Amino acid sequence: MTFKKSFAAVSFGLLFAAIAPAQAAVQNYTFSGAIDTGSLLGESYAGSFSFDDAALTGAGAEWLAVDSLAMNFMGSSFTEADVAAGAGVEVAYYDGAFLGLSYSVDSAANPFTFVTGSYDTSDAFFATDTSSGSLTYAAAVPEPKDWMLMLAGIGLVGVMVERAKRRSI
C-alpha cells in the first residue's frame, strides 16, 4: 500500500498555531487544506472539531478524545463515527503544546489520515491512500557471487577430505 503524503504545513501551521489556554474549556478548531502532490493534486478538505481540554496537565505526551468532528473531502462528508476500526479520534499535546488531530478513515473511496506533529503543528500532515499499483513477490534468485562462494566452499571441503584420505594411508 502506498501512502501519498501531502504536507499542508502552511495551512496546518496557520490553522493550529495556538497556545493552550490558561483555563480548561471546550476548544473548537476549524481547518482546511489542499492536496499539493500525488494523484489527488488540487483536491481540498475542510472541517471542524471540538474537544474538552480539562484533563490536560501540561506535562509530557497527552491525548484527548475529540467530542465532535465534521469534515468534507472529495465531495463526501465525514464525522467522528467514520473513524477507521481500531483507531480513535484524538488530539495530541506535548508539554502543553498542541500537536494536531489524529483521525483515520479507511472506508472511503480514497482513505485518508490526519497525522499529528511530533514537536509542533508544523510536523502534522494529511496523508491519502490511493491504493494504486500492485505488489508481486518473486522467488529469490542467487547472485553470481553467492554461487561462486558456494562452489569455493564445496571445493575447500573436497580438498580437506582428500588431504584426510592421504594422511590416513
86 within a domain of the structure (yes/no): yes
Domain tally for the chain?
A: 1
Q: Report whether 123 contacts 114 (CB < 8 A).
A: no
pLDDT number for residue 18? 46
Q: 96 lies in which domain range?
A: 3-129
Q: Report whether 128 contacts 38 (CB < 8 A).
A: yes
C-alpha–C-alpha distance, residues 74 and 54, integer Å: 34
93 within a domain of the structure (yes/no): yes
* Confidence at 17, pLDDT banded by 50, 70, 90: very low
Q: Report whether 12 contacts 124 (CB < 8 A).
A: yes
Report residue 82 as a C-alpha cell: 467514520
C-alpha–C-alpha distance, residues 78 and 137, integer Å: 36
44 within a domain of the structure (yes/no): yes
81 within a domain of the structure (yes/no): yes
pLDDT number for residue 137? 67
56 within a domain of the structure (yes/no): yes
Average pLDDT value for the chain: 81
Strand order across the beta sheet in which 76-79 lies: 26-34, 44-52, 68-73, 76-79
150 within a domain of the structure (yes/no): no
Instruction: Spell out a b/e string for 102-115, using b for 16 or more CB atoms within 10 Å of the CB, else e.
Output: bbbbeeeebbbbbb
17 within a domain of the structure (yes/no): yes
Mean pLDDT of 31-48: 90
83 within a domain of the structure (yes/no): yes
The model's pLDDT over 76-131, given as tens digits with 9 standing for 90+, comes to: 999 999 988 888 899 999 999 999 999 999 876 778 888 998 888 888 888 887 66
